[in-house]
Amino acid sequence: MSTSAQHQVSCGGGEISETMQVMAKHKSCGTVGGSGKASCGSQAGIGNVPNEVWEKVKNHPCYSEEAHHHYARMHVAVAPACNIQCNYCNRKYDCANESRPGIVSEKLTPEQAAKKVLAVASAIPQMSVVGVAGPGDPLANPDKTFKTFELVNKLAPDIKLCLSTNGLALADHVDTIARLKVDHVTITINMIDPDIGAKIYPWIFYRHKRYTGIEAASILSNRQLQGLEMLTARGILCKVNSVLIPGINDQHLVEVNKAVKSRGAFLHNVMPLISSPEHGTVFGLSGQRGPTAQEVTALQDSCESEMNMMRHCRQCRADAVGLLGEDRGAEFTMEKIMAMDIKYDEQARKEYQAKVEKVRIAKLAAKQEQLAELASASSEIKVLVAVATKGSGLINQHFGHAKEFQIYELSTSGAKFVGHRPIHPYCQGGHGEDSKLEVAIGAINDCHAVFVSKIGGCPKAELIKAGIEPVDQYACEFIDGSAIAWFKLYLDKVNEGKIKHVERLDAAARHNGLISAA
């Protein structure tokens, strides 16, 4: 099933030699990384990040926005138990068509997980990272989690390991995490104020006792920050995830941002609350709403001067497989894996990844070329555009096949990735094609244009009616360069009085965490 991956790389690949020349002209000075902070070439890493850190993140799709277009990850669901209760989680509810944390189709033993890693690594050579993210908490299942890492280290030593934890048990396991070369750890920290924590966490289970209320939140917060300090002191990269819950911790997350930055966190990922009554969560049932896209962006923007903000998180399942935004988990059920003839070929993976690197360089060069064109323009105008993509940083997805749109903010300083919008509304059927189009338009209603490889006549007309320009003339070209070229034309038309620039509306940040029923 590697055909689609190959397609992604070959699409536009013919321009590589040409763009390499352009690249040489521009001396490889480019922008990389998830925060939109400028930096000079891949040598310097992202922002003010040192080279050794850049080496760790450059092929990690969750730690580098630029890498997430090219490299894939997989989660292995070996950790079902949890040691805390969160008001946004309900372990009883499960649905194969859902995409949100805490959801898996089948639990694995460490041995099954290792086999699955080899199967995926062979079929998807750009899969660079294996993580344990649940469906409970990896460190509430330390034996299963660490046994899995030991096996992967032994069988596929080129694969990076990471884990995602609530942090309660973290301080007890820092030595093991370091010994097993887990060099990326994500801690979910939603508060540093126990009064706020009591509204998010009904209880924790700690040292053989259940704690509730403010006492529980206080222990959790202390343990999270202690664990973060211990990891960063050892040079282990830490990302902090925070769930944005309007009316509970929205303003407070600025304080969380300062607290985690001062303790050495590398990246902060503010994610929208996923809340819907049918999930049966405390928040879902109480009518607690999730934030709008603008609310998430506003908070990310307000923290960005302080540290790198992650904007490309897909809040994926604890058994997700593939590029962020796609889930190929259904191709790798244990039943299918047992029938596979798996040959792990590290050399072939290296060769494939070398090709991926060429595409990355070409993409950067295309962007530089268009940025140079834009250099003469001067305007205060900023617009958002949506992009349908299958990966590799290319506009290579049909409008009607897109399961999500990537969102870029365009200004005279260039194209900046600011997020994504999942759009598949159906879980148990019962929704027609019309509602799918409505959901798609609702999800990108804050955008001036949508870039696609192809689009049908009917959706095209509906988009134009909604004030969103469907753009298909950049099919199979790089996103950044194309978006900047389009923006240049847009500014020209505004300056010549051919069109009038108007602000767009707000849009939905999440659609109940559902993915395709297909």
- Binding residues (CB under 8 A) for other proteins: these are 80-83, 85, 91-92, 107, 135-136, 140-141, 143, 205, 208-210
Q: How many Cα neighbours within 13 Å face the side chain of 444?
A: 38
Q: Take residue 511 and report the two structure tokens written for it.
A: 């659609």
Closest by alpha carbon to 383, among 406, 409, 420?
409
Q: How far is the CB of 93 from other proteins (least distance, A)?
A: 9
Q: How many CB atoms lie within 10 A of CB 402?
A: 26
Judged by DSSP in three states, 258 sits in helix
C-alpha 512/C-alpha 266 separation (Å) is 29
Whether residue 97 contacts residue 221, with contact meaning beta carbons closer than 8 Å, is answered with no
Element (H, E) at 142: helix 142-155
CB of 285 to other proteins, least distance (A): 14
Alpha-carbon dihedral sign for residues 462, 464, 467, 472: positive
Please provide the size of the chain in residues: 518
Residue with smaller CB distance to other proteins, 107 or 263: 107
Q: Which is nearer to other proteins, 141 or 300 (CB)?
A: 141
Integer Rg of the chain from CA: 22
Beta bridge partners of 394: 391, 478
Q: How far is the CB of 42 from other proteins (least distance, A)?
A: 42
Rounded to whole angstroms, the Cα distance separating 90 from 437 reads 30
Kindly state the helix (H) or strand (E) to which residue 436 belongs, with its residue range: helix 433-443
Q: Which residue, 169 or 449, has its beta carbon nearer to other proteins?
A: 169
For other proteins, the closer of residues 208 and 343 by Cβ is 208
Work out how close the CB of 105 gets to other proteins at its nearest, in angstroms, rounded to a whole number: 13
Supply the minimum distance, in Å, between the C-beta of residue 140 and other proteins: 7
Q: Kind of pairing, strands 182-188 and 237-244?
A: parallel
Sign of CA dihedral 203, 206, 210, 213: negative
User: In angstroms, rounded to a whole number, what is the distance separating the alpha carbons of residues 333 and 52?
Assistant: 36
CB of 504 to other proteins, least distance (A): 42
Name the residue nearer to other proteins (CB basis): 154 or 208.
208
- Residue nearer to other proteins on the CB measure, 62 or 139: 139
Smallest gap from Cβ 432 to other proteins, in A, equals 33
The side-by-side arrangement of strands in the sheet containing 404-411 is 414-422, 404-411, 383-387, 449-451, 469-471
The residue (of 137 and 446) whose beta carbon lies closer to other proteins is 137
Taking the least distance from each CB to other proteins, the nearer of 280 and 456 is 280
Nearer Cβ to other proteins, position 81 or 337?
A: 81
| Closest separation in Å from C-beta 315 to other proteins | 20
Nearer residue to other proteins within complex by CB, 5 or 140: 140
User: What are the structure tokens assigned to 183, written together?
Assistant: 């060099």
As measured in angstroms, the least distance from the Cβ of 107 to other proteins is 8
- How does strand 449-451 pair with strand 237-244? unpaired
Mark out the alpha helices in 169-321 (DSSP H runs): 174-179, 194-197, 213-233, 253-262, 282-286, 293-304
Shortest reach from residue 81's CB to other proteins, in Å = 4
